[in-house]
Amino acid sequence: KEGQGCRVTIVGDIHGQIPDLLHIFHLNGLPSARNSYIFNGDWVDRGIQGCEVVLVIFAFKILFPRNVFLNRGNHEAVDINDFSGFLDECRDKYDEEVYYEFNEAFSTCPLATIIDEKVFVVHGGLPRVDMKVNSLYQINRKITEVDYEHPDHCILADLIWSDPEEYLQGRVPNTRRGAGQLFGPDVLAKFLALNDFHTVVRSHEAKQE
């Protein structure tokens, strides 16, 4: 509701590519009180400028707290960015203490954002059980390292790891990623109806050409 009447740009996986972030700003304008952004996870790893990406989007969050939103992705966790590039980047530029401070900050970020009460924006996908989004407030998201076998971490893992599967009915474990769920169109339809949403917007996968 804070951003009602504004344009909203949803930015998917930047993965440490500061030129991509700057190109998006060139196309859509800088974040402002009339130009909202949702950075939908996976800000770090793979690219070599994850620190710079995070510092820029965090700075804009401080400048425009009601217009910049930071959804956590599966790479905003120690169990992934330990070996996907971000730890090495922080060691090269700063030290491990800075790395762990970054991950502490990541663990405070929301798992989803709702636009105008109708659009559910999440990095990965839907949880393993049918639930109203108000239930998500009960999740302990202050977890820097996700334990995929721990029952208290399952819903968090689903939101940052899950994928839709066009020809699937129901849900099955997401074995191709080793975390989260695969969910079919029937699960999506039930989630939308249960929460009176129009659509779900996600990142986490490259768009097929």
The CA R_g of the chain, rounded to the nearest whole Å, is 17
> Catalytic one among 15, 75, 123, 153?
75
**150 catalytically annotated:** no
Tallying the residues shown for the chain, one arrives at 209
Enter the tokens of residue 199: 């659509």
- Inter-residue contact 78 to 144 (CB < 8 Å): yes
Q: Which residues sit opposite 183 in a β-bridge?
A: 164, 171
Which residues lie below 8 Å from residue 190, measured CB to CB, with a gap of 6+?
130
Rounded to a whole number, what is the largest CA-CA distance in the chain?
48
Q: Hey, what amino acid is at 37? A: Y
Catalytic positions are: 75
